[in-house]
Structures are given as structure tokens and as C-alpha cells.
Structure 1
Amino acid sequence: MGNSVGADQRFSPKLGTRGEALACTLLKEKGYKIIERNFKTPIGEIDIVAREGQTLVFVEVKTRGSKAFGSAKWAVDRKKQQKLSRLALYYLNLKAWKDRPARFDVVAVDLERQGERIELFRNAFDLVG
């Protein structure tokens, strides 16, 4: 049987909200301008849409409260990249920003008893079809 506390932490909305708040703080410190948070579409949600210079940045935030499920930085697999790509294309079409430069960043937030570890991965992956 698995660790139910770890499972609860992994899917806790509170944990995700805290991770996204920490990610926004980090992005702002690095000069990003936050445009949207938790942008909902019919096919899913984009955690953060930001701008760095003229580049639109779609940011996926992965938060873990325990190493039981591995580090947050390994949580964006190919399937998730495909979904994020579809979400980004939906957003760009909706806003009529198809010609704007865009990229995908990932912020990995590991919250453990020893403290927080937050890592930004710029250009984490390319648009996946």
C-alpha cells in the first residue's frame, strides 16, 4: 500500500497554489511580466502565461511536497508536453498572437521539510505535435 500522506500532498490544491505563487515571485524577480494565471480553456489549463521582453512564455509549474513521487522537474513528460502545446496554440489563436515569439518554461518547486527548492527551466521543450 502506498503512502497516503504523500499522495495527498502530491494532488493537494493548496500545495499547487503555493507552488504557483512561488513560481510567480521567481519569474517577476527574473524580469517576467505575468499576464495570466490559471488560464482555463475547454481542453485544459495553462498555469502561467508571462512575457519576457517580446516573447510570450507558457509556464508549467510542477510542485511536489515529497520526493516519494520523484522531483518536480521530471514531471513534464512527452504526453504533458503535447497537451501544453495544444493549450498554447489555442491561446495564441484566441488572442490572435500567432506571429508572436513564444516558448515553454517549466518551474519545478520541491517543498520539503528541509526547505524550498525552486528551479526555472527556460526553453524546457519545443512545440510538440
Structure 2
Amino acid sequence: MKNMHLGRRGETAAADYLARLGWTVVDRNWRCPEGELDIVAFDGTRHVVCEVKTRTSTAFGTPLDAVDHAKAARLRRLALRWAAAHGVPGASVRVDVIGLVTTGDGFTFEHLREVC
């Protein structure tokens, strides 16, 4: 339960971060039989699937370390599913990862663009 709460807080903070960048969040927690996408946003040019990883520390690596090649490939497949369901050309969708680490009352952010 504690991890779910942390994950929700992280996703909300990531959505707020994207809004501060001027992006529009168009979907959150989109699900299909193969899995879930945390956030889909529009950066003004392209749709961007954002995987959000939130941690309380970096003792076991950064949040971005949790996205390996297999996870990135899965995110790409889900991004293509989302695009097909929304009439968006799949080639125009990119996948980013946003890593958050708690800092008392807030988060530090790492934003890795175009992981696949």
C-alpha cells in the first residue's frame, strides 16, 4: 500500500512537471490487456509516453535503472497500442522515462528522453 501511494504521488508530480514544461497530459494510467502506460502527453510536436519510476532513495540504483531493454521494448509495444487506439501515427510517438526520488516533502527529477 505504501508503494502504491508513493507511485501515485510520483505520477502526479511527474504530470505537474510536464505541465510546467508546457506539455499537455492527454492520458493517465491507460490500460490494455498487455499492460499500462503511466502518462501520455503531447509536447507540442509529438505524443510522448512517459514511464514514471519513483523511489525513496538511490540505495539500489536510480529509478531510471529500473527500465532495462526488455521494459523499454514493452513500453514501445504499449505506445504503439495506445497510438492505434487513438488514431495517432505510431512512428510519431516517443517513449520517455521520468525518475523521481523523494526529498522530504518533494522529489528530484531525472527525465530521460526517447528511450525507444
Same fold (TM over 0.5): yes
Query: Looking at CA atoms only, which structure, 1 or 2, has the larger radius of gyration?
Result: 1
Among 9, 25, 28, the residue aligned to 2:19: 28
Percent identity between matched residues is: 37
Q: Are residues 99 and 19 of structure 1, via their aligned partners in 2, closer, same or farther at CA, if it must alter by over 3 Å?
A: closer
RMSD: 1.9
Q: Whole-Å Cα distance in 2 between the matches of residues 82 and 25 of structure 1?
A: 26
What runs of 5+ residues in structure 1 fail to find an aligned partner? 1-7
Residue pairs, 1:1-129, within 5 angstroms? 12-98=3-89, 101-113=92-104, 116-123=107-114, 125-126=115-116
Q: How far has the Cα of 1:102 moved from its partner?
A: 1.5
Amino acid at match of 1:104: V
- Number of equivalenced pairs: 116
What runs of 5+ residues in structure 2 fail to find an aligned partner? none
Amino acid at match of 2:32: T
What TM-score do you get using the length of structure 1 for normalisation?
Answer: 0.81
Q: Whole-Å Cα distance in 2 between the matches of residues 43 and 88 of structure 1?
A: 11
Per-residue deviation, residues 9-54 of structure 1 (Å, max 9, x unmatched): 6xx1001001001101110000110000000111000000000113
What TM-score do you get using the length of structure 2 for normalisation?
Answer: 0.90
Structure 1 runs of 4+ with >2 Å offset: 66-69, 112-116
